[in-house]
A = this chain, B = another copy of it.
């Protein structure tokens, strides 16, 4: 089996040399617990865990998958143990959750967590969901709820889930039909309905599963505004914290999926015997039947959507690293420019280099975007400078759909390249890359499809607060360009970046004009939304890499070309150049298409579009 390797150097570059981590460590929330000196120790130890504890269970987990018998799901070998190891030793939810006093900055937590995801995406889905459920209880539950649930969730004794989707309400969660009926106790409701695609909905990870369930209270308003949020333990938790009766939550099925086979995706029935109790989170419905259930769930949305992008990044990165090592070791063919020479490792072939470079550029660009996102979230959440916090909240809001969608869509292309570099063996399950292809595909769908993200961008993020945050975000791009347009060695690249900036600025105006004339132009808004998102994402990605290249150049000037880190920094510079010359031009092409506004996709007769 190929050994798990990861680019810990790039992670360290991001949080030690690129982002202003001092600023984050100086925040009240963190300053007593973490500092710059901890970074190497934490990352090095986590890398060891990823290699020795997590990656070894990944392939068998995929092969064996989750077994479902008599309503019980059994995880593949090693999953429960690895989960407990992470949670009990404080490598999981306890380091991430808002509920934890010693939680790390997201920027730091996510740096090591990325290696864990790369080592087993399925395993880490359980940690993520438990953290998410705990965060909801922490943020919106009562003191009693916190006391009853949080400690056991963060320590790995219990796991958690989020229950939104129903068979007839997926993207359109507002159409959910699960109901909540009041009881004599104003905080207790009887829950009845079916939820599907529940990650960890039925697992043997711990003694209990705490479901966070969206349901419509009796008399609730229609649509998403009528949905309430309920804590629904699989086994009732008594007031003294002991476990009570089973709570009438039944697992109907575990989905058979293309990938993530060690992640138990459950269909759950709540209240089949009218005996499922849920604890209301937040206020009961107001006089017009409105509840804040969805709003509460969406409160965590930035983090979980950026997290989904991060998940995609971790997987494509791992696939790239495996491919890079394979390319360095596999001997095949002779140099194009010297066909009489000895056979060479395939990395000597130009197209293999191109593929590796493409992966490296996308991986490092997306990693840069993702960590800027987490950085903004850390500041927004904990900075006392409320103006800055608000500004960064706005940036995080804007980046969220870009990261989620650009990462998950790009991952599909990158894992294909990783397979391609491997040739025939890449298609076999003996090598690890095909599993990443299968595991990663869900990420463009869950946490809101790419289209939902694109509409979030053009319909909300570009327009919120009269468009000021987006304008301010664009100004920051412009400022970077103005400051660096004469940067030595990068003048051509900076010119291309500027052109991409102008494209996005123009797109912003075009979309504003569509919204101003929605009767005539409205249909173009969703038609080109995903292309708008891609343009924004690639502009930001290119700038982020360019910014890193400037840091790398300074480092080279400082350390000289004989320093052991020279190749890393030199690679960073070529990576930025590659991205700007070979990937960024896509923005110009898409911008032209947005301007031309061809409507053939709308004009095609539906009968011609649907076959059979």
Contact = CB atoms under 8 A, between A and B. Distances in A.
A580 to B, nearest CB: 9
A343 B257 contact: no
B349 A608 contact: no
A3 B357 contact: no
A445 B422 CA distance: 9
B609 A357 contact: yes
Determine chain A's interface SS by DSSP, over half rule: helix
Given A321-B611, A336-B522, A336-B525, A575 B589 contact: no
Contacts of A530: 351, 354
Interface string A584-612: 01101100110010101111111111111
How many copies of this chain does the complex contain? 2
A567 B444 CA distance: 32
A341 to B, nearest CB: 13
B608 A571 contact: yes
A155 interface: no
A611 B320 contact: yes
B609 A353 contact: yes
28 contacts: A3-B612, A168-B332, A175-B343, A258-B434, A321-B611, A324-B610, A336-B526, A347-B606, A347-B609, A350-B525, A350-B601, A351-B451, A353-B602, A358-B601, A360-B604, A412-B416, A416-B441, A416-B444, A419-B445, A420-B450, A423-B449, A567-B608, A571-B605, A574-B603, A578-B598, A578-B600, A578-B601, A585-B589
Given A171-B332, A350-B601, A567-B607, 6 more contacts: A256-B430, A258-B437, A258-B438, A424-B442, A427-B445, A582-B598
Interface of A: 3, 5-7, 165, 168-172, 175, 196-197, 255-259, 320-321, 324-325, 327-328, 331-334, 336-337, 343, 347, 349-354, 356-358, 360, 412-413, 416, 419-420, 423-424, 426-430, 434, 437-438, 441-442, 444-446, 449-451, 454-455, 518, 522-523, 525-527, 529-530, 567-568, 570-572, 574-575, 577-578, 581-582, 585-586, 588-589, 592-593, 596, 598, 600-612
